Structure 1
Amino acid sequence: MKHLLNLYRIAAGLFFLLAFTACSDDDDNGTTPPVVETNTIVDFVAANDDYSSLEAALEVTGLTSTLDGTENYTVFAPDNDAFADFLADNGFSELSEVPVALLTQVLLNHVQMGEIMAADLSTGYIPSMATRTGSDDNLSMYISTENGVMINGVATVTAANIEVDNGVIHAVDEVIGLPTIVTFALADPTFDTLVAALTREDDFTFVSTLMMTDSPAPFTVFAPTNNAFVDLLAELEMNSLGDIPTDVLASTLSYHVVTEANVRSGDIMDDMEVSTLAGQMFTINTENGAQITDANGRIADIILVDVQANNGVIHVVDTVLLPSME
């Protein structure tokens, strides 16, 4: 009898243990969610030693949460060597010396909304998520697809179409700094002749001026294309840029620049009179599309607007504007 009683107690204990275990399993299944592996932009950066500087920069600027969410982005990702060059070129010895506000905008200058695969990129301008200092104007990026993919004439895509859960990453070999007017003039071959004109004389200061980020910036530049200069030479019955007298060339170039103003297309009104660096004015009309009438009554069409740099904006014109030479 005593033996049977012990067996009964053992059986009851086993039953209780099994019942408790089953209840515990049910509770776990009801309250503990399954572990889901993610591969966001931030996950990719954190998992690759070559991007430890980018990872640190994202953390310092608070952009980690942005690029770790569900919104899709396209990121041109600079590696550690690119960050080392950026720091050296800008006089910083380490990442912590870069002002957070500046670093934030530099990082955003590598990011676009949505997922853009390399095959969907074409030569031309796209907006980045960076904004011009003190404004909500998104900076432009010049994409060249003539030989691979290059951004702003400085950064080349070395590995494209790295797909992640919330977008796509394109690895680049340089940090894409905040562009100036000169950045786009040098990057876009549409302006090769304009650059040649701006630098024709050693004492011309156009380049250094248009790189400035304080007064007389911001600038609004009406930039003539290469074909516009070809037409000008034909109009003046000259063979080359070198035939234009220096004073005429200097006045002409100054006539395309507005200082102390970032005049975007939305700010342009019909019969708008514009004061220029040359000390003369021209008129913009919008009745038949955006057109400029220069001091000589010549008409130029504005064929591309709002190429936004950090120190001003560019509008592209199909005719070289001429000031009065009287």
Structure 2
Amino acid sequence: MKRLLRLPSLLRLTLVFLIALVFQNCSEQKIKETTDETLNITEYLRTNSDYSMFLEILDITNYAAFMNTYGTYTIFIPTNDAVQAYLNDVGATSLSQVPITDLQNIAKLHILDQKVNTTSFTDGKIATPSLYGQYLVTGASNKNGVSSTTVNKDASIVASNIELGNGVVHVIDKVLRVADKTLAQTIEADPKLSLFTEVLKETGWYDKLNQPLTDITDIDSYLTVLAQTNEVFQEAGYTTLDQLKNRYSHLNNPLDLKDSLNLFVSYRILPRLQYLADIAITPSLVTKAPLEVISTKLSKDTILLNEDIFNGVLEKGVAIDRSVSDVTASNGVLHYIKGNVAIKKRIPAPVYFEFTDIAEFRRLTAFWKKPAATLQTLFVGDAGIDVTWDAKAGDGAAWIGYRKDADGTSILNGVGNCWGADAIDINRFRDANAQNIRFKTPVIIKGRYKIWISYRQKGTKLGNVKVFFNGIEMPRQINLHEGGNTDTANTPETVLESQGYKRYASPWSNRVNCRLVGVVDVPTTGRHTLTLQSQGSFSDGAWFDMAEFRPVEMDQLWPKFAAGKSTLVQKP
């Protein structure tokens, strides 16, 4: 120490600085390893005692760890009062007394694997199903002069759009309950549907509507019911089952599928899971009555069934009671109609067929219609329900793919200007590979139609495409090199239509085009075959958006299709 003090002052300062630097390098450094301190969903719940009971459900079911991982989730969180009310309802004093299977189902029902803000809510189902597999339905209500958003018609949102690190939170005042009753049980539980229940049992349809699902992810296995209340029956002049049998059962055997009373019921049962949001954009509904369909029309916010103009005369339709419809059952969805719907001779109605709306893609529930979905491909052997093509099994380069745009506004994946922001991608659409691709169309009513094919333009490779309807070649071919750049010439739409083209999407883009390929006589009401056949030899992918079947008497330009969305644009 004495020697250190004898050193010159400048040297002593230098030594002290070096010694301090050594000690600093040897000490533990605290480095911030994250750039975002936003809480994840589970962390958020642990910091809010108002939601401790729902957090307990997540802990018991092991979903707490799941909701603390990276992702883009939406979760509906019931308050403690809501969970306590649920316990009182099921006769339990604590969550430990509730079967773990029930708690697991509740947890899954409250979680969506996609971020959905209230700005995306409509008066109907949320587009993304819950992790349980059932859809949630949102709407608006007014209680004591206070407006609120409801979920599944019963729970009100008390706080919304809470942005967290891995998703968004909406707080609700009631626990959402899994729909565990079948359609038959749901109908029978409503005293206003007692006569409808009797008719279902008399015709054998009650047993069919009481069948559980084998695969809750398969939308095609569900059923949709249009039910009539006792009041609607009474207005039509029927108050008893015997009156209905006397009026409709012409074979005196309601169990016979050809009996008019059986047809009366089957006409009110639709295949597939169809909420109001689905019905509103479907021009005609297939029914379980053979070859019979129901036409639909959206008038402001009212969905009308079988309202048509026939021979210049308006046939008044029957409205769906939106306020009480969209009732989820374990095997389908229930709607209430405000009038007695009768089977009648149908006139041709438009059919808008998205090439991506096929069974092979719909079963890809993690990707179909999901924003930012990655390209999903199918090979020969994966298909055969709604689509088939020529490629040989094992040809890994010949496939069809589901291509979805990221946000519906850009062309990140090249299809942001298509209807629904998605398109089917046919790879190696050429001779000797996937030259012919055949689709089963939705049900088309017997009549005369113009067929329009919409696609995304390709600047190079590919070439012409022939179109066949039920094996009959259409007179015009599609040139995949032709884009929709006619806007630059300000060509009137009526002139384009006369040339066999139109601007089918709104807003319009020169990246897509629509071609009239021909006029066909549809011989029977039902599903038909539409074939696309490549006339080129280039190895490339072709992207098709949709096919329109419009009655020849119908306006061929309106309605248009919202680019990047799944809605229609009506004529101003």
Q: TM-score normalised by the shorter chain: which range applies?
A: 0.5 to 0.7
Structure 1 residue 157: Cα displacement: 0.8
Structure 1 residue 52: Cα displacement: 0.6
CA RMSD of aligned residues (A): 4.9
Higher share in helix: 1
Taking a change above 3 Å as real, the CA distance of residues 130 and 203 of structure 1, as seen in their structure-2 partners, is: same
Asked whether the equivalents of residues 154 and 174 of structure 1 are also in contact (C-alpha less than 8 Å), the reply is: yes
Asked whether the equivalents of residues 224 and 272 of structure 2 are also in contact (C-alpha less than 8 Å), the reply is: no
Q: Give 1:292's aligned residue.
A: 287
Instruction: Show the 5 A alignment for 1:177-188.
Output: 177-180=177-180
Asked whether the equivalents of residues 140 and 308 of structure 1 are also in contact (C-alpha less than 8 Å), the reply is: no
Cα distance in 2 for partners of 1:91, 1:204 equals 35
SS across alignment from 1:177: coil
Cα distance in 1 for partners of 2:20, 2:234 equals 99
Q: Give 2:103's aligned residue.
A: 103
Asked whether the equivalents of residues 266 and 287 of structure 2 are also in contact (C-alpha less than 8 Å), the reply is: no
Q: What amino acid maps onto 1:83 in structure 2?
A: V
Identity %: 18
Taking a change above 3 Å as real, the CA distance of residues 146 and 84 of structure 1, as seen in their structure-2 partners, is: closer
Asked whether the equivalents of residues 200 and 265 of structure 2 are also in contact (C-alpha less than 8 Å), the reply is: no
Structure 1 residue 257: Cα displacement: 11
Structure 1 residue 14: Cα displacement: 4.7
Residue 201 of structure 2 corresponds to residue 199 of structure 1: no
Cα distance in 1 for partners of 2:3, 2:292 equals 115
Structure 1 residue 294: Cα displacement: 3.1
- Count matched residues: 266
Asked whether the equivalents of residues 121 and 145 of structure 1 are also in contact (C-alpha less than 8 Å), the reply is: no
Structure 1 residue 84: Cα displacement: 1.0
TM-score scaled by length of structure 2 = 0.38
Taking a change above 3 Å as real, the CA distance of residues 249 and 145 of structure 1, as seen in their structure-2 partners, is: farther
Cα distance in 2 for partners of 1:225, 1:314 equals 11
Taking a change above 3 Å as real, the CA distance of residues 150 and 239 of structure 1, as seen in their structure-2 partners, is: same
SS across alignment from 1:19: helix
Residue 110 of structure 2 corresponds to residue 139 of structure 1: no
Cα distance in 1 for partners of 2:182, 2:77 equals 23
Taking a change above 3 Å as real, the CA distance of residues 246 and 33 of structure 1, as seen in their structure-2 partners, is: same
Q: Give 1:115's aligned residue.
A: 115
Taking a change above 3 Å as real, the CA distance of residues 144 and 157 of structure 1, as seen in their structure-2 partners, is: same
Residue 235 of structure 2 corresponds to residue 240 of structure 1: yes
Q: Give 2:3's aligned residue.
A: 5
SS across alignment from 2:136: strand
Taking a change above 3 Å as real, the CA distance of residues 86 and 242 of structure 1, as seen in their structure-2 partners, is: farther
Q: Give 1:42's aligned residue.
A: 42
Structure 1 residue 51: Cα displacement: 0.6
Cα distance in 2 for partners of 1:71, 1:159 equals 21
Give structure 1 stretches of 5+ with no counterpart: 132-137, 267-287
Cα distance in 2 for partners of 1:249, 1:20 equals 98
Cα distance in 1 for partners of 2:81, 2:49 equals 12
Q: Give 1:313's aligned residue.
A: 332
Q: Give 2:26's aligned residue.
A: 24
Taking a change above 3 Å as real, the CA distance of residues 313 and 293 of structure 1, as seen in their structure-2 partners, is: closer
Taking a change above 3 Å as real, the CA distance of residues 80 and 241 of structure 1, as seen in their structure-2 partners, is: farther
Taking a change above 3 Å as real, the CA distance of residues 8 and 78 of structure 1, as seen in their structure-2 partners, is: farther
Q: Give 2:130's aligned residue.
A: 129
Q: Using the TM superposition, name which of 67-76 and 171-180 deviates more.
A: 67-76
Asked whether the equivalents of residues 78 and 173 of structure 1 are also in contact (C-alpha less than 8 Å), the reply is: yes
Cα distance in 2 for partners of 1:44, 1:59 equals 14
Taking a change above 3 Å as real, the CA distance of residues 13 and 255 of structure 1, as seen in their structure-2 partners, is: same
Taking a change above 3 Å as real, the CA distance of residues 317 and 54 of structure 1, as seen in their structure-2 partners, is: closer
Give structure 2 stretches of 5+ with no counterpart: 143-147, 214-220, 246-253, 255-260, 275-282, 297-304, 306-319, 321-325, 344-572
Q: What amino acid maps onto 1:7 in structure 2?
A: L
Residue 52 of structure 2 corresponds to residue 52 of structure 1: yes
Instruction: Show the 5 A alignment for 1:129-278.
Output: 129-131=130-132, 138-147=133-142, 148-180=148-180, 197-199=192-194, 216-218=211-213, 221-224=223-226, 240=235, 243-247=238-242, 255=265, 264=272
Asked whether the equivalents of residues 74 and 169 of structure 2 are also in contact (C-alpha less than 8 Å), the reply is: yes
Instruction: Deviation per CA, 1:174-231: give whole Å up to 9, x if none.
Output: 0001024689x99xxxx9xx9675135999998xxx9x9xx754595542267xx89x
- Flag the structure with more relative contact order, 1 or 2, with Cα contacts below 8 A and sequence separation at least 6: 1
Cα distance in 1 for partners of 2:71, 2:47 equals 20
Q: Give 2:73's aligned residue.
A: 73
Taking a change above 3 Å as real, the CA distance of residues 182 and 142 of structure 1, as seen in their structure-2 partners, is: farther
Structure 1 residue 247: Cα displacement: 3.8
Structure 1 residue 63: Cα displacement: 1.2
Structure 1 residue 83: Cα displacement: 0.8
Structure 1 residue 74: Cα displacement: 1.6
Structure 1 residue 72: Cα displacement: 1.5
Cα distance in 2 for partners of 1:196, 1:102 equals 27
SS across alignment from 1:156: strand
Structure 1 residue 112: Cα displacement: 1.9
Q: What amino acid maps onto 2:131 in structure 1?
A: A
Asked whether the equivalents of residues 54 and 79 of structure 1 are also in contact (C-alpha less than 8 Å), the reply is: yes
Structure 1 residue 94: Cα displacement: 1.2
Q: What amino acid maps onto 2:87 in structure 1?
A: L
Structure 1 residue 173: Cα displacement: 0.6
Structure 1 residue 106: Cα displacement: 0.8
Structure 1 residue 171: Cα displacement: 1.0
Q: Give 1:87's aligned residue.
A: 87
